[in-house]
Amino acid sequence: MSPTAQPDPQPDSQPDPQPDSQPDRQPDPQPDPRSAPRPGALQPLLPSDPSSIAGYRLLGRLGAGGMGVVYLGRTDNGELAAVKVTHADQADQADFRARFRREVEAARRVASPWAVPVTGADPDAPEPWMATAFVPGPSLGEAVSAHGPLPERSVRILGGALARALAAVHEAGLVHRDVKPGNVLLAVDGPRLIDFGIARTTGESALTSTDMVVGTPGFLAPEQAEARGAEIGPPSDVFALGCLLAHAATGRPPFGTGAVDALLYRTVHDEPDLTGVPEGLLDLVRACLAKDPAQRPTAEEITARLTEDTPGTAADWLPASVVRTIAERSAAMLTLPEIDATELGASDPVDQPTPNRRKFLLLAAGGAVLAAGGGIGAWAALPDDDKDRKATPPPKKERHWVIGVHADLTGPAKDIGIAQERGAQLAVEAFNARKDRPFTLELKVSDDGGDKNRALAAARELTGDPDVLGVLGPTSDYTGLAALPAYDEALLPLITVSAGLNLLTNSGSGQGLSVLQICPQHAIAGTGLAYYVLTKTRSIRPGILQERTDDTYAWQYTGGTNFVFRRANVRPVPRVVPAGTTDYKRVLGEMMAEGMDAYVHCGLTPSAVLAARALDELGFTGMRVTGQHVFEPRFLMEAGDAAEGWILGAPVVDPATRKEASAFVAAHRKRYGAAPAFYAGESFDAVNLMVQEVVKIVRSGKRPDRTALAPLLRKVRYDGVMGGYVFDGSGAIDAVGTFMYAVENGRYKPLEFAPAGPPKNRQV
């Protein structure tokens, strides 16, 4: 966003989010989030894709990434498989085939009904491939994210089955090393453990460096977190299983979320947060999470403690909402492209009555769904389509569409949420006042109260209304992340003007498929602060303080500023302080003693207030800057005179500085009796951006399809009353987008846009 045109391009690359001190970590081979399919969806084959591989007829794409492509394949007898094919350039790497061959061999050595079996492989092919039985259900991580924690009985059955799978892994002389929710698929007859890509034989020398952290932070044992390779063994998988069971029972990892280095530190030094784990499971989970590997139970011992429940063949071990997801995905397998009718039987299908969905499943026994491990239990939980499908309501004579607002109207960010609702309301009223409008608009508001536990329900209130074409919001980072599964599932466009968390559009798991961020992501905003310091001062030792109340936000700002200072060959004075720190005078005094000549605060308002007071008492005269989450009236009120002279970066422009916004400001005053608050103008623009594209569709004679709207919006350049907007392929704003303010006489005085690159007199 810019006042007249786009700012200068961003830095050459995205900021490095990893702190310098973090050990190397082998990245998981995940799909590119900018092109990943909707979770559970089958995407069409591309012209460059083969039609078959080694007897598997390829029906579509399940996912793709830097390592290769995963296809859905079918054998001549109707069995489905996930066929993983690597890129030829990967296969040419010296150690790649050794790693791939090891993955195939590891998976083949595991004999368990709760581990997905290998059905074919060729590590020596020009493009190595491996096929495993296809499971149409969601991953555990996806199910918990979309439907909430599992009940105790479900967790017990889950734990018992996975313990059996791990017992088979360990009996084969292997260690899985990456037991996490994303590597557990849910089927009606029980879970399945997948992905032996980084498994290794007990005592085997790793093909990676000895100081490399391998696996997924948050689901690693302490010995893995510290890369103590010689100590990694079966107890490491048991620790990960304990983390997974805690996540399944509570909806959150036991060591929290946020910066990777913080997760690794907590895993090694802190006790897990097991609040909410059912009493009947608490002792077992706590034992699995013992810091000392010798104190953890074995997989066989866990199995013995969870023998009273077994999945059987029915779907009742899972909540109904998860069963429905499995059933819907199983149904999709019955409509796979180009399945020959003769394969259903010898009779001419034209002479047969059209079966309903349940009958068709029975005809396909031994084919798509049953071969996929889906069973028929899922269908028993669903009504017959012919009897219970609701009739489609007749079209309205006078068509109207709805714009949703998902906001915090009653919680900690209610001032921002109310401003966003008002901006959206004015956009809708302005559209409805047009004589040439091709339809009418309504506004539908859903309040999450700033509570991430309410966010998913608030989102479903909007996604469940078929007339809602797009949504403004959510207000906050973590309510946005919690609501994301609902918007992804509906493919409903979501434009946020205040949630800058990079995970909303760049999670690495195919999330954020419909999200557009008008505000810059926090790491990019951090680069803006650093460039501003370099542009306006001659700083050679800027201080960077990372305060961990909101770990992810602070870490991303720190990463952005560090990136810029390193490229400018400027060596900062760093400090990281835990949440609850109060003695800022001591911490900042030490930083001044090390030569700090400018100060960047990466934290929230309460700690910024303490830092402002401490720097004032210490007589610090250098530039003091901070970011979005301190840009609020509270900082001015609580810091008082100590706030004077601070520079703050925010993703919003003061409407009073924009002549293009004069009509909007006047309308706001007339409607609400006051000048628009920050974030109202950007919300006004966001709604108009969505409406502009819907009008184009309607005037072309087509019916708006909300599931196809987000890709169109990402390609649009829009000039609104607050500036210009253009997006990159992931939906993030393609600009720095940070506006700078100075505290002057107890108010925020607008300055200018943050620079998008280094000053001309700096060598970066």
Percent of the chain predicted with pLDDT > 70 = 79
Omega within 30 of 0 (cis) for the link into 474: yes
Query: CA nearest 290: which of 345, 240, 251?
Result: 240
Q: Residue 504: phi, psi to the nearest 5? A: -70, -30
CA–CA separation, 415 and 406 (whole Å): 14
CB 315 within 8 A of CB 375: yes
Say which amino acid occupies 326.
Answer: I
Whether pLDDT at 147 is above 70 = yes
CATH class held by domain 31-305: mainly alpha
- Report the pLDDT value the prediction gives residue 277, as an integer from 0 to 100: 95
Residues known to be catalytic? 178
- The CATH T-level fold of domain 522-650+741-753 is Rossmann fold (3.40.50)
Q: In which residue are the tokens 């990245």 written?
A: 27
- Spatial separation of the C-alpha atoms in residues 346 and 754, rounded to whole Å: 71
CA distance 531 to 44: 44
Non-local (6+) Cβ contacts of 286 within 8 A are 242, 272, 274
Q: How much is the pLDDT for 207?
A: 37
Q: To the nearest whole percent, how much of the chain has pLDDT over 90? A: 53
The pTM assigned to this predicted structure is 0.55
> Hey, what are 314's tokens?
């029915």
Q: Of 87-96, 111-120, 710-719, which has the strongest mean pLDDT? A: 710-719
**H, E, C per residue of 354-400:** CCCHHHHHHHCCCCHHHHCCCCCHHHHCCCCHHHHCCCCCCCCCCCE
Q: Which two tokens stand for residue 282?
A: 């608490």
Which residues are CB-contacts of 330 (< 8 A; sequence separation ≥ 6)?
136, 361, 368, 369, 372, 374, 378, 379
Q: Are 726 and 734 in contact (CB under 8 A)?
A: yes
Over residues 49-64, the pLDDT tens digits come to 888 888 889 988 887 7
Closest by alpha carbon to 611, among 567, 642, 575, 580? 642
Domains 31-305 and 400-520+656-733 belong to one CATH topology: no
Residue with tokens 């969505």: 690
Q: Which two tokens stand for residue 240?
A: 């990960």
Tally of CB atoms within 10 A around 411: 17
Note the pLDDT of residue 385: 37
The pLDDT tens digits for 156-165 are 999 999 999 9
- Residue pLDDT, tens place only, 281-298: 999 999 999 999 999 999
Rounded to whole angstroms, the Cα distance separating 647 from 461 reads 39
The answer to whether 513 and 707 have CB atoms below 8 angstroms apart is no
Mean of pLDDT values over 178-192: 90
What's the mean pLDDT in 531-559? Answer: 94
Helices (H), 594-717: 605-618, 633-639, 662-672, 680-699, 709-714
Number of helices followed by number of strands (H, E) in the chain: 25, 26
692 falls in which pLDDT band (50, 70, 90)? very high
User: Between β-strands 739-744 and 647-650, what pairing exists: parallel, antiparallel or unpaired?
Assistant: antiparallel
Binned at pLDDT 50, 70 and 90, residue 387 comes out as very low
Rounded to whole angstroms, the Cα distance separating 147 from 141 reads 10
Find, among 393, 388, 395, 419, the residue nearest to 405 by Cα: 419
CB burial of 166-189 (b: ≥16 within 10 Å; e: otherwise) equals: bbbbbebebbbbbbbbbbbbbbbb
DSSP-based three-state secondary structure for 9? coil
Are the CB atoms for 43 and 32 separated by under 8 Å?
A: no
Grade residue 80 by pLDDT with cuts at 50, 70 and 90.
Answer: confident
Print burial letters for 329-358: b (CB count within 10 Å at least 16), e (below 16): bbbebeebeebeeeebeeeeeeeeeeeebe
The tokens describing 358, both together, are 């349940």
The answer, yes or no, to whether residue 721 has pLDDT greater than 90, is yes
Measured N-to-C along each axis, helices 279-288 and 152-171 cross at an angle, to the nearest 10 degrees, of: 30
Q: Model confidence over 312-357: pLDDT tens digits?
A: 445 678 998 898 888 888 776 665 654 443 333 333 333 333 333 3
Mean pLDDT over the full length of the chain: 81
**Where in the chain are the domains?**
31-305, 400-520+656-733, 522-650+741-753
Cβ(131)–Cβ(58) below 8 Å: no
Distance of CA 546 to the CA centre of its chain: 23
Query: Tens of pLDDT along 462-481?
Result: 999 999 999 999 999 999 98
- Under the banding of pLDDT at 50, 70 and 90, the label for residue 11 is very low
Class of domain 400-520+656-733: alpha beta
